[in-house]
Amino acid sequence: MSVLTDLIYGGSNAVAGLTEGAVNDAIAKYGADKPVAFPDTAYFFPTIYAATGVKVTKLGDLPACVGVLKSLITNQEDLGQALNAGLATAVGAEILEGLKYVEGGNPYEADSGIGFVPDPIIRSLGVPLVTGDIPGVAVVLGKADDPADVVKVVKDYQSKGILTFMVGDVIEQCAEGGVKMGLEFRVVPLGHDVTSVIHVVTVAIRAALIFGNVQPGDLGGLLTYTKDRVPAFVNTFGAIDAVVVSAGAGAIALGFPVVVDIDLAENQVPGALESVCDHSLTVKRSLELRNIKIKSKELPIPVAFAAAFEGEIIRKADVHNEFWSGKNATAELVMMADNVEDHKITIVGPDLDSGERNLALATKVEVSGAKMQADFESVIERKIHAWFNYMEGVMHTGQRNQVRVRVSNDAFEKGLRLTHFAEVLYHMIMDEFDAVVDKCQITLITDEAEAEKFRDEVAMPRYNARDDRLSSMTDESVDRYYTCILCQSFAPAHCCVVTPERLGLCGAVSWLDAKATNELNPQGPCQPIMKEGCLDERTGRYETVNKMVKEATHGAVENVTLYSILEDPMTSCGCFECICGIEPVSNGFIVVNREYKGMTPVGMTFGELASCTGGGVQTPGYMGHGRHFIASKKFIAAEGGIERIVWMPKELKDDVGERLNKTAKELYGIDNFSDMIADETICEDCDALMEFLTEKNHPVLGLEPLM
């Protein structure tokens, strides 16, 4: 046997032995009926579930899995067989890690890692992955001989927006090297045991189940999905032992290339297992192996600029300057204008070095272009939030006249000034909106009186006019809807239909966004659907919609309604903000947001409800949707509309309450409808729910049964 297959089998046999022993010990200690589960997932032990269809729920389920694991280890020279042994190692690692959770609580508390990644986080990664905002996923593992090397590599990934998971001593090495860590920084420490690498493997595996509609037990389908659609790769640092090599073989079986920093000489497998001993080439080669292309953003500013800094928090003590609507006038406005002088930047008032900590800030962006439309102003304007946040040392929250911007001492020391804010806006607008913007000029006003004047006399009237236009924009008032198929890179059979009153289920694509996307890229993911051939008003059934959806999903979905959850509902990809599901006892529906971790009256968590739909499949009774859609007059309109909503988590109810009440008043003449909707502070089971609904005389009780 070759050195390589020798190592793989050595590793997988060792893991198999460890796993078998650990399972037997656990059963001896706790009994075979002891429940075992990873936190907040609807996919059991995801690797085992996806590969074999077996649902592990108690310790007694595990010995059979150990049997399957051992059968994968054939000790044959053939590389394909050796990769199977790698999968066995993955199964073993999953079991060993799962056993850590047998006592409940968070076994990773003492470790500086996060361990198992819950389903909702994976769902939240859907949009950034499909838009290329997160261009790839790196797994960095081991202990670097020179810590500076791994620090450099990880920072490089971070600056490119790559999501990096770390396993082993590289975690401390990076922490000491000043790498900012956490999911918000896209650098996620998993744990110290090699087996914790399974926590990133199951992210890829659950992506196949959540988005890809891969059926549990379809191992071939699973491996094809992860290879083709999950842009992940592995970098190991330092010496590697048999267990690492066999875990690496598992990664290769899933389609993830492994780059090691030791010389494997003739043991390399081109494209799958390669040696790169010069660390300055690690990133480049890794990206090449997965064909990941990074759109470089070289901006003329003295601080780093990357999506990875979007979640950065700047604490009070670190603030050099603050622009905050609570203290000073603020406004952000993108407006079409005549006589725009391209790249003209004007600062009116004191700069960051004036000695004033608190300042006003009016950001006035004037654009012109032959194809520019007033409707695109807000689409561009909403991006200011992300772009300012991408600057390292700048934190931005809010929009329009309610804004808070903080600049850190560190960013100031590096030379960051207001003109750099303007440069960022200029370059990003010209980069992303060049199809509609020909010229762009930027004025930043920090003079309090001038900023106030701009806010009150220019910005506010324009915000109000826009709001009027938005609220008058209904599905009836337009002549076309749009498809969005961005999520097809993960959910190949999914297509959203975006209308003025029903935004994309991710919450990130409104009808105006879709319209702008189509204008910016006519061949792109959003295509117009002319509103013709209405087949049924009640459910929102159109010939043209069916035709476009059938085309867009390559025949997977033939009939779709816009307003029904029971009759040919719109499909879900997996990255939905909320899930709406039937509550059969009350004949109503519950709506649950992704952030809610608790139980619901139908006896399922968000994750479990979410797993009822997804992957571009239609599941009558369950539907993913955006938050904003809930208060729409079109929300499950075919089933009676928002009158059917009986339960929502409190945070969600508070968030949409005002708009929901307005719609209920308009549609049914009901006052304070949100008070009739239960939440987790009122009940988490269906008996208490019925009591509450009866007490409130909830309108659902007078409606026709759903089925």
Per CB under 6 A, residues contacting ligand SF4 are 127, 484-487, 496, 504-506, 508-509, 573, 575
Instruction: Please calculate the CA angle 404-406-410 and round it to the nearest 5 degrees.
Output: 175
- Closer CB to ligand SF4, 445 or 485, in the complex: 485
Residue 629 CB, shortest distance to ligand SF4, in Å, is: 11
Instruction: Please calculate the CA angle 216-90-604 and round it to the nearest 5 degrees.
Output: 45
Residue 505 CB, shortest distance to ligand SF4, in Å, is: 5
x/- track of binding to Zn ion for residues 432-451 (CB under 5 A): --------------------
Interaction between residue 575 and Zn ion (CB under 5 A): yes
Residue 621 CB, shortest distance to ligand SF4, in Å, is: 20
Residue 389 CB, shortest distance to ligand SF4, in Å, is: 20
Is 83 within 8 Å of 77 (Cβ atoms)? no
Q: Which does 207 bind (CB under 5 to 8 A by kind): ligand SF4, Zn ion, none?
A: none
How many Cα atoms sit within 13 Å of 316 on the Cβ side?
Answer: 0
Q: Which of these segments, 35-43, 468-476, 570-578, 588-596, binds Zn ion (CB under 5 A)?
A: 570-578
Residue 126 CB, shortest distance to ligand SF4, in Å, is: 7
Residue 199 CA to residue 213 CA, distance in Å, equals 20
- Closer CB to ligand SF4, 213 or 328, in the complex: 213
Q: Which of these segments, 528-536, 555-563, 571-579, 672-680, binds Zn ion (CB under 5 A)?
A: 571-579
**What SS3 state is found at 477?**
coil
Q: Which does 509 bind (CB under 5 to 8 A by kind): ligand SF4, Zn ion, none?
A: ligand SF4
Interaction between residue 254 and Zn ion (CB under 5 A): no
Q: How far apart are the first and last CA of the chain?
A: 63
- Closer CB to ligand SF4, 5 or 213, in the complex: 213
Residue 577 CB, shortest distance to ligand SF4, in Å, is: 9
The residue type at 237: F
Q: Which does 484 bind (CB under 5 to 8 A by kind): ligand SF4, Zn ion, none?
A: ligand SF4
Interaction between residue 573 and Zn ion (CB under 5 A): yes
Q: Which does 59 bind (CB under 5 to 8 A by kind): Zn ion, ligand SF4, none?
A: none
The per-type count for the chain, helices as H runs and strands as E runs, is 23, 23
* Helix 242-253 with 3-30: angle, nearest 10 deg: 100
Residue 361 CA to residue 326 CA, distance in Å, equals 12
- Closer CB to ligand SF4, 216 or 616, in the complex: 616
Q: Which does 259 bind (CB under 5 to 8 A by kind): ligand SF4, Zn ion, none?
A: none
Closest residue to ligand SF4, based on beta-carbon distance = 504
Would you tell me how many other CB atoms lie within 10 Å of the CB of residue 424? 23
Tell me the DSSP string of 106-129: -TTSSSSS--SPPHHHHHHTHHHH
Residues 104-163 that bind Zn ion (CB under 5 A): 126
* Helix 79-100 with 3-30: angle, nearest 10 deg: 30
- Closer CB to Zn ion, 140 or 573, in the complex: 573
Is 22 within 8 Å of 95 (Cβ atoms)? yes
Residue 634 CB, shortest distance to ligand SF4, in Å, is: 16
Is 497 within 8 Å of 518 (Cβ atoms)? no
- Closer CB to ligand SF4, 83 or 526, in the complex: 526
Q: Which does 87 bind (CB under 5 to 8 A by kind): ligand SF4, Zn ion, none?
A: none
Retrieve residue 426's tokens: 């200029």
DSSP tag of 239? -
Q: Which does 508 bind (CB under 5 to 8 A by kind): Zn ion, ligand SF4, none?
A: ligand SF4
Residue 132 CB, shortest distance to ligand SF4, in Å, is: 12
- Closer CB to Zn ion, 412 or 576, in the complex: 576
Residue 131 CB, shortest distance to ligand SF4, in Å, is: 7
Distant-in-sequence, close-in-space partners of 669: CB < 8 Å, separation ≥ 6: none
- Closer CB to ligand SF4, 601 or 624, in the complex: 624
Retrieve residue 417's tokens: 């000034």
- Closer CB to ligand SF4, 56 or 487, in the complex: 487
Q: Which does 565 bind (CB under 5 to 8 A by kind): Zn ion, ligand SF4, none?
A: none
501 class by beta-carbon count within 10 Å (0-12 exposed, 13-18 middle, 19+ buried): buried
Would you tell me how many other CB atoms lie within 10 Å of the CB of residue 537? 11
**What SS3 state is found at 328?**
coil
618 phi-psi bin (left φ>0, alpha ψ -120 to 50, beta other): beta
54 phi-psi bin (left φ>0, alpha ψ -120 to 50, beta other): beta
Residue 637 CA to residue 570 CA, distance in Å, equals 13
Residues 465-504 that bind Zn ion (CB under 5 A): 487
The residue type at 330: T
- Closer CB to ligand SF4, 65 or 498, in the complex: 498
Q: Which does 486 bind (CB under 5 to 8 A by kind): Zn ion, ligand SF4, none?
A: ligand SF4
Q: Where does this chain bind Zn ion (CB under 5 A)?
A: 126, 487, 573, 575
